[in-house]
Structure 1
Amino acid sequence: MPAIAGGRTELGWFLTQEQRGNDATRIRPWTEGNAVRPLVHGSTYFAVLAEALARAGEGDLVFFSDWRGDPDEQLTEDGETVVQALSRAVHRGAIVKGLIWRSHLDRLRFSNEENRNLSEDVNDVGGEVLLDQRVRAAGSHHQKFVVVRHPERPADDVVMLGGIDLAHGRRDDADHRGDPQSVPFAHQYGTRPPWHDVHVEIRGPAVRDVEDVFRERWEDPAALSRLPWQAIPDILRGEDRRADGLPPPMADPPEAGTCAVQLLRTYPQRRPGYPYAPAGERSAARGYAKALRRARRLVYVEDQYLWSADVARVFAAALRREPGLHLIAVVPRYPDQDGTLARMPVRLGHARALQIVRAAGGDRVQVLDVENHAGNPVYVHAKVCVIDDVWATVGSDNFNRRSWTHDSELTAAILDQRRDEREPRDPGGLGDGARRFARELRLELWREHLDRDDDDGLLDPTDAIEAVRASAVALDAWHDGGRSGPRPPGRLRAHPAVHMTRWQRLLAAPVYNAVVDPDGRPAWLKVRGQH
């Protein structure tokens, strides 16, 4: 496989416009000249967001999308809440528009009331936040991003996107003691669940593409909800059910850095079809599949839901094709909900996925989970992938069938044009060379997970893989020995295999396939097993 396809490294890793499989979208195949900064942990992201919103004033644009939004979530300790930051931007003259998933009922542990409250509170001061239920049955809008644009100061334009909701439970930091404003959660995580998550900040031309993602959804003429039990109460309450017009699009912000950014998305097939994706879009699934075909040494994943056989087969194919390839995946130790009925379908998908990748890779596969220094499990909500320190993604899509076919998702694939000159300079051996953003993202995450202050032994994949394995083995042995003696450094532990009886699998399968991990592809793609 050539290192540089058609004279461009990006063409070897990124999807072409044709490979995206959606001619109706206005977003470009990718953009160059972007500055991208990882925002690891909710507290980091919220502080950056608070500053960006504070700079929004007369005539500036604030566009956002989210799965969940809690109006009273504090962005900083003793600082503004989400609704205060958005409302004050409106009062300063900013144009604030938002699309939040309408959500299922709170008693099902969703966020219908919270999302409605955030919408109403911002609308009351002159913003416009709509509750968007233009999804498939049992689906959701899962994109999480904020766009801030300044017509008079385009160099300050910024996007923040990734896996972090504007919600309770997310404002944690590297110590992982949890957000003081917690959410109801599985009892194993305690009353203040520790939370690990990742976002990115992007400046440069990609800002306009994320803005176009928002504009495409905002301008969709379909009703926000066609369900009568939702539409009729909305009409009686006088809810805003029709989007006002947006200001005309602006030109690209100026180039700001060295990163090429490709936006990967998921939209399901639905009726009526999305004007910007009539047959849906599965560029997230296609983007991972293409990048994994170039994987040679190390695929590193952090994910909330590594539980789909369809997704696991894509990783398994890479492991079988490349005998020197290793997969390290960091996942939550426990599902996020209590109760047998909630857990069993999740366990089924998880068991299938892990069985597939372990059968393909054997001891080249390490599946791990995280704990804090008190020994409490940390809920991994991040959605991150780094391949051979070249190509990296941060976004909202999980590694499951729902995220790859059924819910709306948005992920940034990042290829830094800066080479990292530290050895090994080309860990994949394809001539691409290690890239600064991808390598630094992996190292930042591993320094935290391994309790390291430096990168010694973490650059070369062979050494790094063994460092992770040794750290997890030592911590597991310390626990198995009754926690006697000093706690070894590191926070990673081997993730236990999931065992289910035949009857448990049979009973869980219908709920798993219909509700937990549904398939949003057109029938002809399902039959072919393609995305």
Structure 2
Amino acid sequence: MVPLVHGATYFDRLVSCLVQMRPGDLVMFTDWRGDPDQRLDEHGLEVTTALSEAAGRGVVVKGLVWRSHLDKLSFSEQQNRHLGEEIEAAGGECLLDMRVRPGASHHQKFVVLRHLDRPELDVAFVGGIDLCHSRRDDARHEGDPQKQPMAAVYGERPPWHDIQLMVHGPAVADVEATFRERWEDPAPLSRNPVNVLSERLRHDTRTAGPLPTQHPDPGPRGSANIQLTRTYGNRHPGYPFAPEGERSVARAYTKAVRRAERIIYVEDQYLWNSEIVAPFAEALRSRPSLHLIAVIPHYPDQDGRLSMPPNLVGRQAALNTLYDAAPDRVAVYGVQNPAGTPVYVHAKVCVVDDVWASVGSDNINRRSWTHDSELACAVVDDARDTREPQMLDRFGHGARAFARSLRLELGREHLDLDDDTDLIDPSRAFEAFAASAARLQSWHDAGAVGDRPPGRLRPYRRPHLTRRTLAWATPLYRVVYDPDGRPLRMRYARRF
């Protein structure tokens, strides 16, 4: 299990694995958005070229990409279509998959590589990074030259912070099983009559071809125990593998957070909805030793007069709930690069007491926990971290190597640190984050005169929407931006 922080790191590793694939090997991938011309490395190798070349060598290539909506609505129907067409021209197969609840998306982002006679090379990549524009950034956060439209505050090349996991061992087969379940779903790829008619006129593929027989699970690798957690909305008719949907992402978060004792570290694109953050608030109220550090975007990715307020409704409610629970033990930050440009935080990470960690496509909001399709890896490592304090939780589990190393790696980057001295102990980490962000904020407040202090975090200022704005933005937020995909009885009972 290897965390690949930043899109450039992930893309480089993906390319190095793809070029090793031989005839009869199998590539399976899912995406929310796929841009065929997205460059994966410094040599200009594009997504469609990498996958098409693999198919041309006799590798079996299968893909599922969410159909999305029209590009004039700032989505990605045309890019996804072109990616599928080019892969199929090379002998692969890529389906535009709209088998979701109305208004939902297939948000899973993973790649699985299985090898016919070299199981030691089997690998899966799971996380929040799509094979599309804006994702290829690195620790310098200068942005991807192949940008996608975003709010003006993010500049010409929007900086992007994200993470993907590189998974080996038996869990690779579990990720593959998720792909196979979706691929073999007998429901029509789309029920939209306009889409159906256009597909027929273009003679598009509307049924999935057969997949090769699944290989035996890869052998154990490393010390990490990985549980896949997923979300599927309550679709009609139901998924064969999830008749009333699935909400194991929500259940895993709820269980882990309620056991927290010393620290919850979160990086999230949204952090929305007072109901969704209720377990975090409950844990903060019941555990006076618990601190919460959250790293989120300073600004939404869209800044229109109609799109901005609904983006802030759920954020305002969630942060008010958290600060009301423990005002002195909650700290929320946004990231900027050394040039002062805000960095868009797209990562979906949670670490609890350096024991449990989750990385995936899921955000902390109602849409991700109930409505869209999501996939995450919840990790508990058998290997212990022996640095003090070793024991953060009240159950005697002790700090684990993967969870602690991930939290420290992210912390070092955000604070521009070369070592972990101030980050291992949760209380000291909370203070170090606060001090670093305060110094940078003071430097900006003083006119950015003199040397810029180290660190990339600034305190996030909570939104304060007026009653008039809330009156029109809240219904739009609930219905469009953060809908609920649970069966009605679960909504009323507030269960997942």
TM-score scaled by length of structure 1 = 0.93
1:100 aligned partner: 65
Q: CA deviation at 1:452?
A: 0.5
**Deviates further, 149-158 or 478-487:** 478-487
2:437 aligned partner: 472
Q: Deviations over 1:280-311 (max 9, x none)?
A: 00000000001012100000000001122221
1:209 aligned partner: 174
Q: What is the SS of the residue equivalent to 1:70?
A: coil
1:6 aligned partner: none
Q: CA deviation at 1:79?
A: 3.2
The letter for the 1-side match of 2:440 is L
1:281 aligned partner: 246
The answer to whether residue 17 in structure 2 is matched with residue 52 in structure 1 is yes
State the superposition RMSD in angstroms.
0.7
Pick the aligned partner of 1:173 from 138, 150, 153.
138
**Deviates further, 273-282 or 76-85:** 76-85
Matches within 5 A, 1:257-406: 257-406=222-371
Could you tell me which runs of 5 or more consecutive residues in structure 2 were left unpaired when the two chains were aligned.
Answer: none
Q: CA deviation at 1:322?
A: 1.0
Mapped to 2, the partners of 1:242 and 1:52 lie a distance apart of: 29
1:183 aligned partner: 148
Mapped to 2, the partners of 1:319 and 1:105 lie a distance apart of: 43
Q: CA deviation at 1:324?
A: 1.2
Matches within 5 A, 1:133-144: 133-144=98-109
The answer to whether residue 92 in structure 2 is matched with residue 127 in structure 1 is yes
1:527 aligned partner: 492
Mapped to 2, the partners of 1:326 and 1:390 lie a distance apart of: 15
The answer to whether residue 47 in structure 2 is matched with residue 82 in structure 1 is yes
Q: Deviations over 1:157-193 (max 9, x none)?
A: 0000100000000000000000011111100000100
Runs of 4+ off more than 3 Å: none
Matches within 5 A, 1:361-510: 361-510=326-475
Mapped to 2, the partners of 1:314 and 1:345 lie a distance apart of: 23
Q: What is the SS of the residue equivalent to 2:13?
A: helix
Q: Deviations over 1:410-435 (max 9, x none)?
A: 00001110000111111224310100
Matches within 5 A, 1:5-24: none
Q: CA deviation at 1:78?
A: 1.9
Report how many residues are paired: 496
Could you tell me which runs of 5 or more consecutive residues in structure 1 were left unpaired when the two chains were aligned.
Answer: 1-35
Q: What is the SS of the residue equivalent to 1:129?
A: strand
Matches within 5 A, 1:159-170: 159-170=124-135
Mapped to 2, the partners of 1:320 and 1:216 lie a distance apart of: 40
The letter for the 1-side match of 2:462 is A
1:218 aligned partner: 183
Pick the aligned partner of 1:239 from 189, 204, 207.
204
Q: What is the SS of the residue equivalent to 2:328?
A: helix
Q: Deviations over 1:445-470 (max 9, x none)?
A: 01100001111111111111111110
Q: What is the SS of the residue equivalent to 2:468?
A: helix
Q: What is the SS of the residue equivalent to 1:209?
A: helix
Mapped to 2, the partners of 1:309 and 1:66 lie a distance apart of: 29
Q: Deviations over 1:237-274 (max 9, x none)?
A: 00010001111111110111100000000001011100
Mapped to 1, the partners of 2:252 and 2:220 lie a distance apart of: 24
Mapped to 1, the partners of 2:280 and 2:471 lie a distance apart of: 25
Q: CA deviation at 1:138?
A: 0.8
Mapped to 2, the partners of 1:447 and 1:169 lie a distance apart of: 23
Mapped to 2, the partners of 1:321 and 1:242 lie a distance apart of: 52
Q: CA deviation at 1:323?
A: 1.4
Mapped to 2, the partners of 1:276 and 1:505 lie a distance apart of: 39
Mapped to 2, the partners of 1:489 and 1:389 lie a distance apart of: 25
Q: CA deviation at 1:53?
A: 1.1
1:69 aligned partner: 34
Mapped to 1, the partners of 2:151 and 2:44 lie a distance apart of: 29
**Deviates further, 285-294 or 307-316:** 307-316
The answer to whether residue 6 in structure 2 is matched with residue 41 in structure 1 is yes
Mapped to 2, the partners of 1:405 and 1:325 lie a distance apart of: 27
Give the % identical residues: 58
